[in-house]
Chain A
């Protein structure tokens, strides 16, 4: 397979799998499940193939496909990957199959669920590799459809409203994106991310946008900000999140928090920063406040939560906001802050990856608890799980502490680097964030204590089986990765170091 088709293949295989599942009406459940998992796992295969081609010294795109597509709109079929993109592709490759297996485990209508999930996975991958607005936006919007049906059709009691709100919020953001890119096209004749970044680097973009109207550059920036902000989510665009994460089936929540929210973070790095560095700098103050708001609100709300899903949702908000905090702090930086900038950037991306792993794992834990108790994951329903299912408790504990940021586990290095960078750039913000760290520790530990420690009570009082083989197959690898990446973070950092260095040097994408 030549390099020029690897990216297309990456996105196409899950979609093909979805199509096959969609039309094969008479496929038995087992075969459907196998087909789905196979198609999902292909991502990891592609990821490894791409990893093999990765050149650590190169800061830019190491594989690219670019073909003219729609001449009259200046749109190309442009896919490309650099270290950052590869990071997210690998994340998807790892989390995808695991989340899929979880979703299909006890689902009815396996074929349909598998098809929707593969469609979702393919769309997410498309977002990570597309470098022209049109293919990128197709995948961005397309991901909503399977998400909607998965939440609606396999979710909890209030899934309907949650799904509806999720989609409407995202559509609102997308309208902003559409508006912004229409303006960019009107001003420059292109909607290609790399070309736009180049225009910005050459200093021409502001002038062209300004020609459309005095308010246009700001409006365009806001449009993109809102569009991406809804997805990440960035406070205060997060209102859809708690209900959605709570109502979605466990496997889907894993994917939502692990991959889909990273689509938003990725967007900030791929779109917002290279194309609007000046606006980011100008508004760095308010944006920092928003990110901090997410950090603090996430932590506090999680603290007050009495339900694991709910708590995890807000915890996600908190963790993702760290990434954004780092970015906004960097945005206001000057040329002298090179080291701090590098540190913050590397930390943000590592955090994104690692949070994906740990949050996914924790949602899986929630799923296990729900399945065992036959209901929701309210803390009050559990107690002394450690006694009933020691191995489960062990793995859950690792995930928990990873989320906490314990040194030695993968969650630490990202947070550490972020704080190191942000302290140097925006000490006040870092101070506030530190408080949130404390709160995070409190809620995570108190959860641990209430659910896992103490005498067996509630649902645990009766039979509470330990992890079975299938569950091991999901949680196990995640935990292994968490430990591995905690001990040897350079495995990941190697992917993004050169990128971060060049960003720090020029504050644009190469």
Chain B
């Protein structure tokens, strides 16, 4: 298994991320693309701001990829996460996974994004017309 894990402040490139995980041994790739939604609980979101504790975020993502590789026979795994200000429709995260057969790629990809959202020290702030909120900070 090989992996590429990056935190970037420039727009993510879906095509090059996908290309990176393809290999002659792969029978399928699964790609999750997160996008900035224009509303949360019915309220218009103008943009998001992402911030990361970069060295720890990279190390937590490495752990997740290692766990995924122990659970499923995946071949290549890519995680690109963006930081900074993102407008509606932009891409904060891409997870791409290749495997010999599709089930492993689907399952590992889902595990990686679900776990990333729980453990990786990255934060997003939603900017509304009348204020801003760090997502999930308060009960």
B is a partner of A:
no
Residues on A facing B (Cβ under 8 Å)? none
